[in-house]
Structure 1
């Protein structure tokens, strides 16, 4: 999805001035824009975004000591207040990205994200750093302070930066293997782990004779020469009993340009065990995304060291349950705009909505699906209801009790769309 840069408004001493997107970015205005930022740096001026978002969209002006240049930055957790199409928009504060400690994900002034991975991309180093949590990358059940990003978190980050967790009606017909993989590559080009640009070691499943196939082959050779591990993202091939039982390699579709992903039986079985929702969806015929960390290829083969899975809809929207799939399909059928908050590596007891509607009178309206009836789950349900009622008000969020009323026809109607809120 193409982002929009809106005007920036500066209010100081009762005087308001507006600066267009062109003035902020065009080379001919560069010195003038730097002069504006220098003038207002460190004073009491109010600087805010001109996008139609709701809430506080103020900016701060920062100075890079190494270059002496000024730049604009969001205030912490304010990204959610910007309009979803704004370049300053971020869903980090309503996703598992907030579970990381300071320094795990850092944003540079040019938009580059520096991440501290739990896994080393250098083949001569141990795979895990500093500690291993399990070969199949299970989601955490305890602990809220994540000091490193695991493989599941990296997949969430790529999906979020590529805007693949967001859907607008205008996107219909535009998400297919080639376009999705192009957006993932673009997202990876802005992510660095240590001294490695992620796009240099990222292989993505490709169709025959495609640009992506050629790119994969070049990266295979470069990684082998530089002794770097690879990150591979692909869709699992259609389910069969034989494929689930395993034949010592991960079965993937759109495999052109990829090496054979050799995997030990124990790692494969453990990974499926740690992803029961994804395994069941795979058997039902759904698309399952696999991300794997592998050694540098030797010939046309490489050994998988770690892997994680993600269940996605026909629109490539991540899903955590079959009930979510029903809601996501209905939202798309009704031409709604919505977002799926990603869990990253957050603990399972952290509260994140299943979806957020983006086209109501507010930027984000949380949506929850309650699908179980155990005592523990009902307690959790009550806690969530209290949380949402206190934060958003009883009319400020939507839910479906899919356990008590499992029929899709019994699903409550969605909140109405606001005027001029979607695309």
Structure 2
């Protein structure tokens, strides 16, 4: 159990008194200190929907013990390192995060739709100063904690849980003069008994951006996050049919659909060929005065049945193996990072020193190998590398008890050793 120091008092994470103490220091100069390390690590307090929570200070995730819920691998092991501090700017003094987006949240009349997910290309536009639409999805997934896995999470993730924590993750995230939560639409889990109420709440939320009679200038857009049920032909083009939204579809023109299928061919093919996966869409959309929604830009992400993102069949096999073996790990997310650049497939957090797991893609060239070698050589963590086209999956690093031993010793208790 994580212990915090607040002022001169020590309190455990699950204590009933913790939130009262956080409310008392919210807005003050007093910071809670996480004691997962003997020296302690400062954190800060945020208020979300009337409740108080502890958050990491910027760039301190790697300072926490790997077993601590606040631990994060070094940002440079994923695409986060490219955008943190530029496209993502945290301000712990006021508890907000500013997001700089590469895509627009307004639609000028007559403007053509942009290339779907164009932020993933290795171009000057994606130098890390702005988030692509896929990168925004990765950021929210990261903030909601769905890139993390431990055995205790088995069977506890569904669309209701995802929606709750993604919406919570969007709070206090500001972009283009608005709070992201006010621009985000995530469908409610469908229930036949609640069908009418769900439809009424959806209409009320989307009416805030609906095009009005005589409206001039740019139209407002919202951001959709939904699981794809089908990308189907419509009378004049195509439509996104989302799960939990069988009675409400999102139109897309033929050109957008063509470019989407080309750009996200891997994600679509992985989802189609592997049972139990989820294909998650993020899109900007507008609503006309008739109440019809049309997509302007869109990105896709494929996940396991436990909603952990993956990019290839070898990654899926690794994640499945780690899950079956009841390992604790954190999945690396790409954000804006080009597909030709290496990143951590996973970081094991149940080894004495966090172990970064890399998969060398079949057919990757010398430039990729050099970049991977630089990541491994410059890391303070242990490394594990798999070449799927050359070998079977190497043995997984063993679970270590040294971290638990150190923590219990710090508390004055020595755990029993086995074996």
Using structure 1 for the length normalisation, give the TM-score: 0.76
Question: Quick one: structure 1 residues 86 and 111, their matched pair in 2 at CA, closer, same or farther if it must change by over 3 Å?
Answer: farther
Aligned to 1:40: none
Asked if the contact 2:119/2:131 (under 8 Å) is kept, the reply is: no
Query: Is 1:99 the equivalent of 2:93?
Result: no
Mapped to 1, the partners of 2:395 and 2:34 lie a distance apart of: 33
Question: Quick one: structure 1 residues 119 and 26, their matched pair in 2 at CA, closer, same or farther if it must change by over 3 Å?
Answer: same
| Residue in structure 1 matching 2:4, options 7, 16, 28 | 7
Question: Quick one: structure 1 residues 360 and 218, their matched pair in 2 at CA, closer, same or farther if it must change by over 3 Å?
Answer: farther
SS in 2 for 1:224: coil
Aligned to 2:379: 391
Query: Is 1:264 the equivalent of 2:253?
Result: yes
What is the aligned residue count? 378
Note the C-alpha offset of 1:262: 0.6
Aligned to 1:293: 284
Query: Is 1:150 the equivalent of 2:132?
Result: yes
Mapped to 2, the partners of 1:87 and 1:373 lie a distance apart of: 37
SS in 1 for 2:136: helix
Note the C-alpha offset of 1:289: 0.7
Mapped to 2, the partners of 1:390 and 1:287 lie a distance apart of: 35
| Residue in structure 2 matching 1:50, options 23, 31, 35 | 35
Mapped to 2, the partners of 1:269 and 1:163 lie a distance apart of: 33
Query: Is 1:108 the equivalent of 2:91?
Result: yes
Question: Quick one: structure 1 residues 234 and 420, their matched pair in 2 at CA, closer, same or farther if it must change by over 3 Å?
Answer: farther
Question: Quick one: structure 1 residues 233 and 85, their matched pair in 2 at CA, closer, same or farther if it must change by over 3 Å?
Answer: farther
Question: Quick one: structure 1 residues 147 and 273, their matched pair in 2 at CA, closer, same or farther if it must change by over 3 Å?
Answer: same
Note the C-alpha offset of 1:138: 4.9
Aligned to 1:248: 238
RMSD of aligned C-alpha atoms? Answer: 3.9
Question: Quick one: structure 1 residues 230 and 397, their matched pair in 2 at CA, closer, same or farther if it must change by over 3 Å?
Answer: same
Asked if the contact 2:137/2:282 (under 8 Å) is kept, the reply is: yes
Query: Is 1:169 the equivalent of 2:160?
Result: no
Note the C-alpha offset of 1:48: 5.8
What whole-Å deviation, never above 9, does each CA across 1:110-153 have from its counterpart, x for those lacking one?
A: 5432212223334569989xxx9734435121456322222111
Aligned to 1:284: 273
| Residue in structure 1 matching 2:209, options 203, 219, 223 | 223
Note the C-alpha offset of 1:167: 0.8
SS in 1 for 2:129: coil
Question: Quick one: structure 1 residues 36 and 193, their matched pair in 2 at CA, closer, same or farther if it must change by over 3 Å?
Answer: closer
Query: Is 1:207 the equivalent of 2:190?
Result: yes
Question: Quick one: structure 1 residues 222 and 73, their matched pair in 2 at CA, closer, same or farther if it must change by over 3 Å?
Answer: closer
SS in 2 for 1:249: strand
Note the C-alpha offset of 1:32: 11
Asked if the contact 2:238/2:252 (under 8 Å) is kept, the reply is: yes
| Residue in structure 2 matching 1:140, options 111, 118, 121 | 121
Residue pairs, 1:19-418, within 5 angstroms: 19-20=10-11, 26=20, 30=24, 34=28, 49-52=34-37, 58-59=41-42, 77-83=59-65, 86=68, 88-91=70-73, 93=75, 94-100=77-83, 102-109=85-92, 111-123=95-107, 134-143=115-124, 145-205=127-187, 206-208=189-191, 209=194, 215-224=201-210, 228-237=220-229, 247-255=237-245, 259-285=248-274, 286-362=277-353, 364-373=354-363, 376=365, 378-392=366-380, 396-405=382-391, 410-418=392-400
Mapped to 2, the partners of 1:315 and 1:195 lie a distance apart of: 34
What whole-Å deviation, never above 9, does each CA across 1:211-260 have from its counterpart, x for those lacking one?
A: 86664333112332796311111112268xx669x951123222157x42
Mapped to 1, the partners of 2:23 and 2:225 lie a distance apart of: 41
Mapped to 1, the partners of 2:152 and 2:222 lie a distance apart of: 34
Using structure 2 for the length normalisation, give the TM-score: 0.76
Mapped to 2, the partners of 1:255 and 1:32 lie a distance apart of: 39
Aligned to 2:413: none
